[in-house]
Each structure stands twice: as C-alpha cells, then as structure tokens.
Structure 1
Amino acid sequence: MRLVHVSSDAIFSGRAGREYTESDEPDPIYPYGAAKAAAETAVRAIDPLAAVVRTSLILGDGNGAHEHLTHDLVAGRVDGALFVDEIRKPVHVDDLAAALLELGLGNFAGVINVAGGDAVSRYELGMLVARRDGLDADRIPSATSSGRPGDIRLDVTLATRLLRTRLRGAHEFMQAKP
C-alpha cells in the first residue's frame, strides 16, 4: 500500500513574494501551518517513498467551508469578512481527489503541489461563489488580514507535467450553475 499525505499551503508565511515550489522550505507563522509542516517532516522520515501533496483552499459544488462562509456572510448569519490580501490557488475537490488517486496508484515520491490554476484572494473567491450561486455579491464584507499568511500561491508546474488530471482554475470551476 502506498502513502499519500495531504498537506497545505499554510506551511508558508507568504513572505516570498512569488509562487512557492516543492523545494521551498516551510516557514509557517501560525499553529495550523506549523502542525502541517511537522506532519510533512514525520511522513517523509517514516516513508521516503510517500507522496506529500501540498494543496490550497478546497472547493466543490456548494459544500466547501469557504462556500458556506460566503453564504452566511451574505445572509448576515455571521460576522466577519473575506480578506482581500490572502491570495490562494483554490482547487476543486474533484480535481484534488483525482490527483490523489493518480498519485496513490503511481510511483511519485516526494513533495508535489496540487492546486488550481488561478490565483485569487479569499474575497475574489467569495465573489465567484456569490455569482455562481445567485447571491448579492455586494453584501460580502471585505477586510485585510492580520497575522495570517498573505500570498501563498503554490506553483503547480510539476503537477501539470506529471499528472493526467487537469487542475482547473477557480474562474473555470466556479461558473454559474445552469
């Protein structure tokens, strides 16, 4: 049986000013990212043949955490805002699942970034959710973050080269529902 470990872009601080590659060393700035970085180290020590998959915000067809938050913010059920300065490369859950299965059945060993093709802020992503779901996007509050990773885009060049799975960008998979 083959080990495929799912990690996160949260292992990075966002201070690089460019997309993060698989060779970049983790430099987390909050506990979740530190825990993910420690888990990567443990997995690679225990099983050097494991695939360590770094991914980003995971979205689906309406059931993701970011999607629920957007709906709740628009409806006024929660207080808060979506950050304009947190840049990510969201991935569709179906694309991520297909890539994980492909890696599980393959022989790739090491770190690989599996994320979507589009860099968007959390606020921009909320706007895409609102448009897709027929919500009033003007009701989405925006803010700047404090003490959280800013720009932690993952470079997906290796994944695009190695995998048959196509990693769609958020602008493509967040199209309006028919």
Structure 2
Amino acid sequence: MTVLVVGGSGYLGGEVCRLAVAAGSAVMATHQRAPGDVPGVRWEPLDVRDRGAVGRLVEALRPRTVVNTVGVYADWAVTATGAGHVAAAAARVGARLVHVSSDAVHGGRTEPYREEDEPTPVYAYGASKAAAETAVRVVAPEAALVRCSVIIGPDARARQVAFCLDALAPGSELRLFTDEVRTPVGVGDLAAAVLELAAGDYAGVLNVSGPEPLTRLQLGQLVARAHGRDPAALHGATLAELGLHRPATVVLDTTRARDVLKTRLRPPSEILTDAPR
C-alpha cells in the first residue's frame, strides 16, 4: 500500500508513518515547517491552505491512500479549508481517504455520542472540525471520518501528558478541569485503527476513542502515578472557575468501532504503563 500522510510531522501523523513503514507500506508524508524523524518516509513540504499545491502534490505522488491528520487549534484555514483541499485532491486521483476529526464537534451532554449524532460545536475549534467533516463528506463520500478524543501516549510528546507534567512542577499555577470529561485514546491505538480503516472500505463517521471516561484531573492523576509523581500535587478547577466556554462531558460511544475494528482501544492506565520514570 502506498500511503500519503498529510501532517506526518505531527504526533499522530508520525505514529501513522511509523506503523505504516513497519507494515511494509511505501510511505510519503507532508510537513509545513520541518520533516519528521521517522526513517523510511519520503518527506514533502506542503501548506494545505494552498489548494493548487495540494492538488499538484497528490497528482504527482498518486498514493493509493491519503490519511489527513492535520488540525490546528486556532486556524480555520488549515483545519477546515485545508481538509477540503486534501479531500478533493484525493478524490481526483481515486485515493482512499481517511480523515481524522475530533470529539470537539460535539457540544456536550451526559449521554454518549453515537456516529449518527450531528455536530453541535460550541467553540471555534469544534466548528472548524465540523466544517472539515462537511467538506470531506461532500467531495469524498466514500471516505472514513475518524472522530477521536484526547490523544495520549506514555511520554511528554503527547500534548495532554506534557500539560499534566507541567502542572506537577513545584509552584505551578496550572489547573486541570474537574468537570470536563473525555475518553482519551492512545496514539498507537488510534494510528493502528486509522491504517486498518485505510485498508478497508468503511465509509462515514466512526468513533475511535478509549473505553474509559475521565475528567482532565483524573487523567492527570494517572499520568502522575505512571511517571512516579505525587497526584496530590495537582490542582483542579471547573470550566466556569477558569472562565472557559467549552463542552463539559463528551463521551464517544465506540460500540461500532469494536465491531468494525480488530485494533483494541486500551484504557489510559494501560497506555501509560511504559511511561519513563
């Protein structure tokens, strides 16, 4: 399989590259600032905001599969418009597309979200992710759209793990949410699921997330224990106390993923087992 990983220099993209190379695929990946460090990958610079550049690159490489992992928190043009450019280019060459989305498309509720639940974003990043999904559905209806939650790993390369470790530093004023609930997913599990979908024909949204709902504070406590630190050093706060307008409880129902995928989606405690001490 020839795979083009858009955003291959990022955390998830790099893991997709690593697993694809290990599986014997020919892997090409894009970066905006600097190539990643995965051996065996052909690196190409790309700004997904440039429709012409995206089209020319995909036409030149003609991959069998395109995996789009790109998403920038405060950049609509990259996250939403760029997703449309990638989807259109993949469709023109007949490539299989797997687009990585986010649980940020949901507005928050006590009941788990299924794939059929339409986006109800309440902040800008969620809106950009929802717009990206719409663009992909329009131009590449056979694509797989992966809605995932917070991406974690055993070390500080994972943004949320790094934040938890920073919050553990002496004198830190960082606070972890006590009322924001998510279902964290391991970067390796998510990457494996993405490549499994790339090799298949599943079309539409699929929730790919971990099995255990946790608050950010509870996740931080797991990170602390995994790294041999004292969880009592962490401090919590509510979204309201920090003046933030974000969805509180967003739990993804992964019943369909368990039926569709062979990849096992592990709980955070297991993912963090290999944390350095």
Of 82, 86, 103 in structure 1, the residue corresponding to residue 176 of structure 2 is 82
Structure 1 counterpart of 2:135, which letter? A
Residues of 2 paired with 1:6 and 1:128: CA distance?
26
Residues of 1 paired with 2:235 and 2:220: CA distance?
10
Displacement after TM superposition at 1:175 (Å)? 3.4
Of 264, 267, 270 in structure 2, the residue corresponding to residue 166 of structure 1 is 264
Displacement after TM superposition at 1:78 (Å)? 4.9
Larger radius of gyration: 2
Q: Which fold has the larger relative contact order, with Cα–Cα distance below 8 Å and residues 6 or more apart in sequence?
A: 1
Residues of 1 paired with 2:100 and 2:168: CA distance?
31
Residues of 1 paired with 2:119 and 2:140: CA distance?
19
Residues of 2 paired with 1:176 and 1:53: CA distance?
26
Structure 1 counterpart of 2:260, which letter? L
Structure 2 counterpart of 1:71, which letter? L
2:118 aligned with 1:20: no
Alignment check: 8 A CA contact 1:13 1:29 kept:
yes
The SS at the match of 1:75 is coil
In the alignment, what sits opposite 2:101? 7
Task: Identify unmatched segments of 5+ residues in structure 2.
Answer: 1-94
Residues of 1 paired with 2:171 and 2:190: CA distance?
30
How do residues 14-163 of structure 1 correspond to structure 2 at under 5 angstroms? Answer: 14-15=108-109, 17-62=110-155, 63-76=157-170, 78-146=172-240, 147-163=245-261
Number of positions where the alignment pairs a residue of Structure 1 with one of Structure 2: 177
Displacement after TM superposition at 1:76 (Å)? 4.0
Residues of 2 paired with 1:163 and 1:50: CA distance?
16
Map Cα deviations across residues 113-165 of structure 1 (whole Å, 9 max, x no partner): 00011111111000000000011211111001131111101000000000000
Residues of 2 paired with 1:160 and 1:56: CA distance?
16
Structure 2 counterpart of 1:145, which letter? L
TM-score normalised per structure 2? 0.62
The SS at the match of 1:112 is strand
Identity value in percent: 49
Map Cα deviations across residues 29-69 of structure 1 (whole Å, 9 max, x no partner): 00000000000000000100000000000011112111111
Closer, same or farther: CA 163–30 of 1 in aligned 2, 3 Å: same
Map Cα deviations across residues 47-99 of structure 1 (whole Å, 9 max, x no partner): 00000000000011112111111111111475321101111110000000000
Task: Identify unmatched segments of 5+ residues in structure 1.
Answer: none
Alignment check: 8 A CA contact 1:118 1:171 kept:
no
Structure 2 counterpart of 1:36, which letter? K
Residues of 2 paired with 1:19 and 1:4: CA distance?
23
**RMSD after superposition:** 1.4
Structure 1 counterpart of 2:162, which letter? H
TM-score normalised per structure 1? 0.95
The SS at the match of 2:147 is strand
Alignment check: 8 A CA contact 2:223 2:272 kept:
yes
Residues of 2 paired with 1:157 and 1:93: CA distance?
19
Residues of 1 paired with 2:118 and 2:189: CA distance?
25
Runs (4+) of structure 1 moved beyond 4 Å? none
